[in-house]
A and B are shown apart, each in its own frame.
Chain A
Amino acid sequence: MNFQKNQWWILLGVLSLLSACGNSDLSQTSELGELRILALQVDAPEVNPTVDGSFTVVPVVSDLNGAGRTLNYQIEMCIDPGVSRGASVSCDGDSTRPSARTGSFTLSGPYYTGPVSPQNPGDFDGVVPATILVDRNPIDVYNGVSYLVIVRVSAEDGTEEIAYRRVVATARTELNQNPSLLSVRKEGESVDLLSFPELAVDEELSLIAVLGNGYQEDYSALTLLGEEVSRSELVTVSWYAPQGTFTFLRTDPEGVNRYQKDADSNIAPFLFAVVRDDRGGVGFLSQVVGQ
């Protein structure tokens, strides 16, 4: 193992990452406004396709500046061509894939951010084919083979957002469940119960996301040599708001974040949070301070 070369690769990656996150002039991931896909939740992040490979996708979309305009969706599903290893996010190479579904939807105000329902029933439903695990090596069969879901959301002005997620096909019997986000609290009190007018311009909200029981699951995986190891999910809460600033754009489940509204704003802050485990599980919650 020539570690000089590996060290170069690792340190270069970390250096580029540090350099990238040091620029405060660029727009932040927490800012809501333009058309964005915030999450793709599925009811079954992991499936055992030999038992039941079905799942339903729930796109979570924000289009605050669109103010309720009509948005179009297209959804495609296929066996993952190897996106994590550099393959394009595309289903074009899978001749067995189901045909793409299309439709339109609108988001409701006043924040135009939230989950989307399909125009046509079943558009967001999918089935991981049982053949996905055929001929795969035992380690992949246990750890999972990805089935790709690609969602495109576009507006008439040509704006388009593309997101993808994986539904993991595995032979494991204990399957991953979505984490849930119950509330966003300040000092133990849900922020929607706060009295907004009392939030002064320079006051900071110290926020913590309250997650449902069992949000952090333990699971087993096989190493590349086939040894079974235990792991705990890595859970992250992502924070969004149309105005104001967060101290952290993401926090650990127990992490305390701080939020300060814009000085010139007199509307109640709208907060949106998404919780993810690192196996595709997703939960989300929107709350308006004082409402």
Chain B
Amino acid sequence: MRRWMQNRGVLLLTAGTLGVVGSVHAQSDAAESVRPQSRIQGVVREKGTRKPLAGVSVFILPLKLKAVTDSQGRFALDGVDGTAGLNLVVNLPGYIRFEKSLQFEDFAREIKVPLERASYQIYETTVFGQGDKRDEAKRSLKASEFLQAPGAGGDPIKAVQNLPGIARPSFGAGTVVIQGSAPQDTIYQIDGQEVPIVFHFGGLSSVIIPEAIDRVDYLAAGYGPENGRALGGLIGVTTRSPQTDRTHGFAFVDTYNAGGILEGKLGENSGYLIGGRQSYVGQVLRAVLPENEQFNFTVAPEFSDLLVVLESEPSEKDRFKMTSVASRDRLEFLFSQPTDMDPSIRGSFSNTTQFFRLIPQWEHRFSENATGRMTIGAGKDLLSVDIGGNFLNLDLWQMTTRGEWEWRASPTWTTQVGWDNRYTWSDVSFKLPTAFSEGGVTNPFSSGDLQEAAIEDSRFRLISMYWRNEWKPSSESPWTLLPSLRTEWYSATQELLPVPRFSVRYQWDDSLLLKFASGLYVQQPQEREVDENFGNPDLSSQRALHLTVGYNKDFREGGSRGLSIGNSVYYRYFDQLVRPSASLVTRNGSLVFENFDNSGRGDSFGLETLLKLDLQPWQGWLTYTLSRARRWSVDDPTRNLFDFDQTHLLTLLGSVDLPGNWKISARLRYVTGNPTTPIVGAVFDADNDVYQPIRGAVFSQRLTPFFQADLRVDKKWVYEDWMLSLYLDILNATNRQNREGVSYSYDYSESAELAGIPIFPTFGLRAEF
């Protein structure tokens, strides 16, 4: 039967050839005058993206002529005798088979072969814990993962919060809490340089357009010596290189913001990328919020950001990249009369936050075994907060510099020596009441003592050097030892602190890696905490010890389908944590409030698991964290829970690619409720007409567990030269009323639940070419 089918095909081809040869022979004369009739040439590109496809076999059947595309996707086939019954065929795995009947005019032109991918919703695989083999404490998410993660709205940092060890943030917190550390113990970087904020408006969106990000890294317990000054860890965003094969463009619009990217070639070996966003969240809020006689927006909340990336490779040994990023958030509203809860909150409220950074990066390969890298982050941070005449204005110039020299001394020993410095110059003026908060309960602003100052040219220097080593006993040894030393010097505390780090890897076999990491970590107190006027200049740096041990097991045996597991346990001990102090001390001969001391202590420990299952078109993640975080003080050794202690944190992510470039994904989250402090009474502050809460046992209660289901649907339409995508991301698809906090009556005698966000759909439309 099969032979008959083959014969029938040959017969039909022959008949077709005989039938058309006479009619087209005359037409081919013109083409023959242009170029040899026997040559067919063209270019193979991916449909929609126009990406040239190299190394692709192009056939002329049934002649069995074959050509392979070059790096530009071009091909040429000689010896094509006529066109009758001839088909140009491209059959590339992962793409839909392309077949085209040859016509005589094809000899006279370049044939375009647009290959359509089987799916444009491919979910690329990232191996847990190996975003960068240099640091086992690093976990990474690629753009293809965070852009379509359900519940994250395409945002990379929100998607990172799906990883184990990161606490579920409260709505509006805008911070990342890592493994039981405080929010201020996490630092944020763009292309390796520190930036002041990572989110617009308390968590609404990251400060950089997600489509311009290559990956986002999360450094947890035991991170390497290249970074420091953070007891918790680090969230780092790496911008991607511009695409230089041609000019690319991308634009999007969704429920609360719009933006786009333009990128392309800029001379020989150089490229550019320009991206930005502008929000209209304020207009949306105005439409959604009910009319309120007591409160109205005078400037609707808005944010914008801009990113420019220039990259060049002036020589084979040099790579230069310049990243420029700017971000601005602005909000103003007006209370027509003093507020019900606190009369000091009145009149106008305004907040402007903006920063920019210029981040030149240069890498030079001195030899096969020696490489140098240097980056600078120079820029300015501006913060302005005005609360009814009380204010905080900060104008800060910052320069961070990093440099590293890497030398592969032998096949078994690689060493790096580097520096990581931060310099700031700031003017700050403020008129604010002292604030006190304990157990997650903040005293009213009115009850604080009003403090006012204008401090100019305040300078801080944080100087760090490190020496990192990666050593194997032999080339074949499964052991890798990583002894490192980092030193920190802080001008604010005048401390020189050696902080050793030590890690070990054991490669059991190709699929199983065992790992251990440890280290000391130090963090300078916040600048305001060491100020001699309103802080305590005698404070020391906060310290932490990190220990972590774990393994990664990949059951896929080199394939792309299957299961991979990462498991680890961690322990952190925190020492000399800064706490507020109401004690009176003698300073410069006068009795003054101490303001802060180093009496805080704490620990956190936990178990983390990440399971990834890839059964294309189905994919799934399961992350689970079992943890405990506690705090106490030298004066009171009672172990209290930490603000963000979340015993169980379970996240289940699943997605399926459907025909027609549909993709459906979902996220289920279960998180233990955050600890709360009961309020057992209140005392009336008769000067200020507010009540001061009396706290019960600190963090002795919990909110009800958090459960949320998020759903996302993506659809892509692929045209020859461009693509159109539509997505619907539904946060809290079941409209569950999760408790995010407790609100109280004026005297704290009554309370009510503070519900989290209800069902929140976001529509988005994007076009790219």
> What are 17 sample pairs from A and B whose C-beta atoms fall under 8 A apart?
A3-B383, A6-B526, A10-B387, A15-B172, A16-B741, A21-B340, A25-B752, A27-B745, A27-B749, A37-B686, A84-B436, A224-B452, A225-B454, A250-B340, A251-B337, A255-B337, A276-B687
The residues of A that contact B453 with a CB separation of less than 8 Å are: 223-225
A250 to B447, CA, bound (A): 17
Nearest-Cβ distance from residue A220 to partner chain B, whole angstroms: 12
B689 contacts chain A at the CB level, 8 A cutoff: yes
The residues of A that contact B752 with a CB separation of less than 8 Å are: 23, 25-26
**Segment at the interface with B among A101-109, A121-129, A158-166, A195-203:** A158-166
* Residue tally, chain B, CB below 8 Å to A: 94
Knowing A39-B686, A165-B686, A247-B293, say if A17 contacts B342 (CB, 8 Å): yes
Identify 8 new A-B residue pairs, CB closer than 8 A, beyond the known A7-B197, A84-B434.
A1-B396, A7-B353, A7-B383, A23-B752, A29-B747, A37-B686, A224-B451, A282-B686
A81 to B527, CA, bound (A): 26
The residues of A that contact B27 with a CB separation of less than 8 Å are: none
Cβ < 8 Å to A, chain B residues 442-474: 442-443, 445-455, 458
The residues of B that contact A221 with a CB separation of less than 8 Å are: 450, 452
**Segment at the interface with B among A48-56, A132-140, A179-187:** A132-140
Interface residues as binary, B726-765 with A (CB distance below 8 Å gives 1, 0 otherwise): 0000000000000001011111011110100000000000
The residues of A that contact B339 with a CB separation of less than 8 Å are: 17, 21, 250
Nearest-Cβ distance from residue A275 to partner chain B, whole angstroms: 10
Nearest-Cβ distance from residue B433 to partner chain A, whole angstroms: 8
The residues of A that contact B284 with a CB separation of less than 8 Å are: none
Closest 7 CB pairs of A and B: A82-B582, A137-B590, A163-B684, A26-B745, A224-B533, A29-B746, A40-B686
A40 to B689, CA, bound (A): 10
A26 to B753, CA, bound (A): 11
Select one of B428, B445, B452, B747 contacting A229, CB under 8 A: B452
Which of chain B's residues has its CB closest to A12's CB?
B173
A28 contacts chain B at the CB level, 8 A cutoff: yes
Determine if B349 and A82 form an interchain contact, defined as CB atoms under 8 angstroms apart. Answer: no
A22 to B589, CA, bound (A): 47
Tell me the dominant secondary structure on chain A's binding face.
mixed
Select one of A11, A22, A89, A249 contacting B692, CB under 8 A: A89
A86 contacts chain B at the CB level, 8 A cutoff: yes
Knowing A37-B686, A280-B687, say if A225 contacts B533 (CB, 8 Å): yes
A175 contacts chain B at the CB level, 8 A cutoff: no
Knowing A84-B449, A238-B689, say if A3 contacts B394 (CB, 8 Å): yes
The residues of A that contact B689 with a CB separation of less than 8 Å are: 29, 236, 238, 250, 274, 276
Select one of A17, A85, A135, A225 contacting B455, CB under 8 A: A225
Select one of B294, B445, B452, B741 contacting A13, CB under 8 A: B445
B interface list, Cβ under 8 A from A: 172-175, 183-184, 188, 196-197, 202, 293-294, 336-346, 349, 351, 353, 381, 383, 385, 387, 389, 392, 394, 396, 424, 426, 428, 433-436, 438, 442-443, 445-455, 458, 526-528, 533-534, 580-584, 586, 588-593, 595, 681, 683-689, 692, 741, 743-747, 749-752, 754
The residues of B that contact A252 with a CB separation of less than 8 Å are: 337-338, 346
Nearest-Cβ distance from residue A192 to partner chain B, whole angstroms: 24
Which of chain B's residues has its CB closest to A281's CB?
B687
A193 contacts chain B at the CB level, 8 A cutoff: no
Nearest-Cβ distance from residue A160 to partner chain B, whole angstroms: 9
A224 to B592, CA, bound (A): 12
Determine if A135 and B435 form an interchain contact, defined as CB atoms under 8 angstroms apart. Answer: no
The residues of B that contact A22 with a CB separation of less than 8 Å are: 743
Cβ < 8 Å to B, chain A residues 18-40: 19-23, 25-29, 36-37, 39-40
The residues of A that contact B293 with a CB separation of less than 8 Å are: 247
A225 to B458, CA, bound (A): 13
Knowing A5-B526, A15-B202, say if A20 contacts B385 (CB, 8 Å): no
Q: Give chain A's interface residue range (CB within 8 Å of chain B).
A: 35 or more
The residues of A that contact B183 with a CB separation of less than 8 Å are: 5, 8
A2 to B689, CA, bound (A): 32
A265 contacts chain B at the CB level, 8 A cutoff: no
A interface list, Cβ under 8 A from B: 1-17, 19-23, 25-29, 36-37, 39-40, 81-87, 89, 135-138, 140, 161-166, 221, 223-225, 227, 229, 234, 236, 238, 247-252, 255, 257, 274, 276, 278, 280, 282
Determine if B683 and A89 form an interchain contact, defined as CB atoms under 8 angstroms apart. Answer: yes
Determine if A250 and B692 form an interchain contact, defined as CB atoms under 8 angstroms apart. Answer: no
Determine if A14 and B344 form an interchain contact, defined as CB atoms under 8 angstroms apart. Answer: no
Which of chain B's residues has its CB closest to A22's CB?
B743
The residues of A that contact B527 with a CB separation of less than 8 Å are: 1-2
The residues of B that contact A12 with a CB separation of less than 8 Å are: 172-173, 442
Determine if A82 and B584 form an interchain contact, defined as CB atoms under 8 angstroms apart. Answer: yes
Which of chain A's residues has its CB closest to B196's CB?
A4
Determine if B338 and A236 form an interchain contact, defined as CB atoms under 8 angstroms apart. Answer: yes
Determine if B743 and A19 form an interchain contact, defined as CB atoms under 8 angstroms apart. Answer: yes
A268 to B319, CA, bound (A): 83
Nearest-Cβ distance from residue B301 to partner chain A, whole angstroms: 12
A234 to B586, CA, bound (A): 33
Knowing A9-B435, A82-B593, A162-B683, say if A2 contacts B196 (CB, 8 Å): yes
A190 to B491, CA, bound (A): 64
Nearest-Cβ distance from residue A93 to partner chain B, whole angstroms: 10
Determine if B202 and A20 form an interchain contact, defined as CB atoms under 8 angstroms apart. Answer: no
Select one of B341, B349, B586 contacting A21, CB under 8 A: B341
Select one of B294, B340, B381, B433 contacting A29, CB under 8 A: B340
A140 to B448, CA, bound (A): 15
The residues of A that contact B454 with a CB separation of less than 8 Å are: 223, 225, 227
A172 to B690, CA, bound (A): 27
Nearest-Cβ distance from residue B234 to partner chain A, whole angstroms: 13
The residues of A that contact B745 with a CB separation of less than 8 Å are: 26-28
Nearest-Cβ distance from residue B6 to partner chain A, whole angstroms: 70
A19 to B196, CA, bound (A): 26
